[in-house]
Structure 1
Amino acid sequence: MAEILQELNFIIQDKNRVITEKIEDKYLSDTLGRLKGTALAVVLPVSTKEVSGIMKWAYDREVQVTPRGAGTNLVGSTVPDQGGIVLDLTLMNHILELDFETFTATVEPGVILQDFQAYVEEKGLFYPPDPGEKLATIGGNISTNAGGMRAVKYGVTRDYVMGLEAVLPDGKVIEAGSKNIKDSSGLSLKNLLIGSEGTLAVITKCILKLVPKPETSVSAVVPFDSLGAGIESVLHIIKESTNPTAIEFVEKKVIKLGEDFLHIQFPYPEAKAYLILTFDGREEEVLANVQRAKNVVLETNALDFIKLEDKKLLEDVWKLRGALVKAVEAVSEQEPVDIVVPINRTAEFIGFINELEKESGMQMVSFGHAGDGNVHLCVIRGNRSQAEWEAEKSKNMSAIYHKAYKLGGLTSGEHGIGLSKKEYFLKETDALNLELMRSIKGAFDEKRILNSHKAYNI
């Protein structure tokens, strides 16, 4: 250990940024804390040069490296399950450039999402990706191709990454992409890195696309007497060109958990399910779209259309929506799921979940992004013993993922695969696809030292 510390301190001369003793649990797990690994050291670089030096050192010695940002991951992607080094990038947290002429910002990977969004909005610009965890880092968002609530209108993180600087496992530095809007220049290495969960390279710099800040934003709650009725209304909302920024769905049973957790009241309490809609843009356009959406839902199955004009009510609604996973966790351990299905199959999938809940006796609550078919599901442990929980969870999760794939869906919309979803991803994914993914891994990381047992890896 002393020899390792000495060698690492030769690369990073600030001894406070190389930890080899009394390593905190947060570095050995993810935000759920259920999976835990081990590490020889935690290293906190502050420059691309330092990252390059650490990766070359690890590659030469075939030491495993687990990159991490804020540690908000939900699927074990940041767990050092093979030991080695944890490479914490949170000190690389600077906004390097804001370029008004190209509508881009260049940032380091440890910049916190909510800080970056606030910074550009003060300048009259807007960074649309809006995953639920605002304390995640930009590098982490890119590594999982995070989506969030505004994906229905604006797309996901991939749509706003124009260029990346990254360090390969052997320490070499590459640049992929640029500030250019168009690119038909060979294979897109940038897009290979986005969503790769730290298995191919370590991101050290990000060029991000920005758009003008919307003039105004309006939200509304639409109650229904069933979740199926609410989901069916989504296609009507989209088909009528109302251009919503977000279309969230949530069941009353999970709203109740959120109300109890936060001690706030959600509007129209007698409903069984809700859509939460947001519209942004120029004021006259937004108001016209809101009215069009109101007409559409009231002509279908909606019980009401509640425009959130009161600031406190608006804040409470979105606060509750953002706290749903924590509200469930406050009651019981749960397995978070973020399956994605084609938007026209969302109602069918949730219907299957509700039937499985009745048959299995295991509580399951659904909410998520109705506009893009991303279903967030909490499979709840309740009072089951550890053995009962593991056995029943595995059986039910296998059924859930199998159904999603039969409907044309995929394992994850934005959380990634990591360790906890790997079993289901490998079971449902075509063998040839997995072979190609592993071939790409080998081209980037011949010695397989970088997050080498996560996601698609064996």
Structure 2
Amino acid sequence: MNDTHTVPEKYITHRVTGEKGRAAKIAFPETEAAIADYLKQAAAQKQSVITVGASTGLTGATFPQTGEWLLSLEHYRNILALDEETLTLHVQSGVTLAEIQDYLEPTPYFYAPDPGSKQATIGGTAATNAGGMRAVKYGVTRENIRSMVVFLADGSKLAVGSLNNKDSSGYDLKDLFIGSEGTLGVITELGLKLRPKPAAKVSVVIGFEQLDDLAPVVYQILGSSLQPAALEFFDREAIRYAERFLAEDFLEIEGECFLLLTLDGSDEESVAQQLTQLSDASAKMKKQSFQPLREEQAQRIWRLRGAIGAGIEHVTQQEPLDVVVPINQITATIKRLRVVCLQSNLRAVFFGHAGDGNIHICLLREGLPQEEWEERLAVVLHQIYQEVAKRGGLPSAEHGIGLLKKPYFKEAIDPVKLQVMRQLKQALDPQNRLNPGKIFDITDK
């Protein structure tokens, strides 16, 4: 195991303020024995441990504050085995999404979750229960993990989940660790659920004059027998950032707000039938355009959709949010939040996953001095999360809570539920050694 007291800057830099955190040391284990030994050393010396990966997170979940030890799994990154009989890919948690996609490219299978950063580690996506654009049909990370190996705070090894398709045998411990952001255990290996690649697919862009016209089409699609693999929304302002960043053009198409969706299936005929059904449904709605895409067009438009966030980051610092509301509240929420941002003198860009109510809000700094940026951000974030809670929404759909969303999470969560979470944390990590102070505090502050 390689220990060093020189911690790379990417692990200790606060993503909003740029301030430097404090970490006592970092380890890059390459074996299970090394992971267990590091955790046992930390427990013996009463040190807290934060598990880190590729540092693509957006909520400060791995930011060290009090000289914690860091446990990096970047070097723990082997693809172990492809089990074609159970459609399971066994990997170590430091493997990136890009490496999994590359490995599966020549096979008939794919791993469905598709979060924005392909350089994220698979362990990190499990720790935050990452979503992505295919969640509407194939589910988020939670629905695509069969089994995991987890190390507890005392260094003991725990296998959770299994290759069985059914399980009514006691508590579901696997799902307990997914989304726990490293506060309950260290995820080291995963058995990923694979699926056969669809034999055919088609992407479609539907344009609307205004956001209110878009919502009825979403409801009709989700209430029908159609099962889009992805169902995204954005407006012209959002896609222009991606156009400039990638130096690629969107479509010459009518509309100011757009739905982008993909239909897939086992053969060309079934996809053609879905496309006809979608066209018939949208014909009854207040749309401005309906354009099925050729393969080259589809690849370009999906690249542009995926690059909206990067396009914004290219021109200004931003604070990216991932709130979620019931799908029938998407339009009303965005309209209200636009007013909130305007009143706080912060410009914002809205886009997201129409199929599951996940709204991405990018709050733009645009040259504001650091102190003024932080002040305005604090005001508008409080108002945004209040508005989301009023509509039955939650502060995070796929980024997690980490450090940055803690106060808003505490305001939004039922106190009884928070107390149960604290009890679970204390049961699995009684000394509060694993990623302390993230998601919530053990006691009220």
TM-score tier (shorter): over 0.9
The code of the aligned residue for 2:424 comes to I
* Distance in 2 (alpha carbons) for counterparts of 1:121 and 1:455: 36
* Distance in 2 (alpha carbons) for counterparts of 1:34 and 1:133: 21
* Distance in 2 (alpha carbons) for counterparts of 1:386 and 1:32: 9
Q: Is the 8 A contact 2:254 2:289 kept in 1?
A: no
* Distance in 1 (alpha carbons) for counterparts of 2:45 and 2:300: 52
Q: Is the 8 A contact 1:334 1:378 kept in 2?
A: yes
* Distance in 1 (alpha carbons) for counterparts of 2:339 and 2:23: 43
Secondary structure of the corresponding residue to residue 75 of structure 1: coil
Match of 2:278 among 286, 293, 296: 293
Structure 1 segment 374-385 matched on structure 2, within 5 A: 374-385=358-369
Q: Does 1:308 align with 2:293?
A: yes
| Residue number in structure 1 paired with 2:4 | 19
Structure 1 segment 349-428 matched on structure 2, within 5 A: 349-428=333-412
Q: Does 1:66 align with 2:58?
A: no
| Residue number in structure 1 paired with 2:259 | 275
Q: Is the 8 A contact 2:253 2:289 kept in 1?
A: no
Structure 1 segment 167-246 matched on structure 2, within 5 A: 167-246=151-230
| Residue number in structure 1 paired with 2:84 | 100
Q: Is the 8 A contact 1:36 1:79 kept in 2?
A: no
Secondary structure of the corresponding residue to residue 130 of structure 2: coil
The code of the aligned residue for 1:287 comes to A
Deviation at 1:59, TM superposition (A): 0.9
Kindly tell me: are residues 410 and 435 of structure 1, through their superposed partners in 2, closer, same or farther at Cα, counting changes over 3 Å? same
Moved over 3 A (4+): 29-36
| Aligned sequence identity (%) | 41
Q: Is the 8 A contact 2:322 2:396 kept in 1?
A: yes
Kindly tell me: are residues 316 and 31 of structure 1, through their superposed partners in 2, closer, same or farther at Cα, counting changes over 3 Å? farther
* Distance in 2 (alpha carbons) for counterparts of 1:445 and 1:373: 33
Q: Does 1:336 align with 2:320?
A: yes
* Distance in 2 (alpha carbons) for counterparts of 1:337 and 1:423: 14
The code of the aligned residue for 1:57 comes to Q
Deviation at 1:98, TM superposition (A): 1.1
Secondary structure of the corresponding residue to residue 321 of structure 2: strand
Deviation at 1:247, TM superposition (A): 0.5
TM-score where L is the length of structure 2: 0.95
| Residue number in structure 2 paired with 1:4 | none
Aligned length: 441
Q: Is the 8 A contact 1:339 1:409 kept in 2?
A: yes
Secondary structure of the corresponding residue to residue 432 of structure 1: helix
Q: Does 1:54 align with 2:24?
A: no
| Gapped regions of structure 2 (runs ≥ 5) | none
Q: Deviations over 1:343-367 (max 9, x none)?
A: 1111111111122233333211101
The code of the aligned residue for 2:404 comes to S
| Residue number in structure 2 paired with 1:43 | 27
What root-mean-square deviation, in Å, do the aligned CA atoms of Structure 1 and Structure 2 show? Answer: 1.6
Q: Is the 8 A contact 2:208 2:254 kept in 1?
A: no
| Residue number in structure 2 paired with 1:3 | none
* Distance in 1 (alpha carbons) for counterparts of 2:377 and 2:17: 18
Secondary structure of the corresponding residue to residue 34 of structure 1: coil
Range 32-41 or range 369-378, more displaced: 32-41
* Distance in 2 (alpha carbons) for counterparts of 1:33 and 1:134: 25
* Distance in 1 (alpha carbons) for counterparts of 2:19 and 2:198: 41
Q: Deviations over 1:199-238 (max 9, x none)?
A: 0000111112112111122111111111232233111112
The code of the aligned residue for 1:340 comes to V
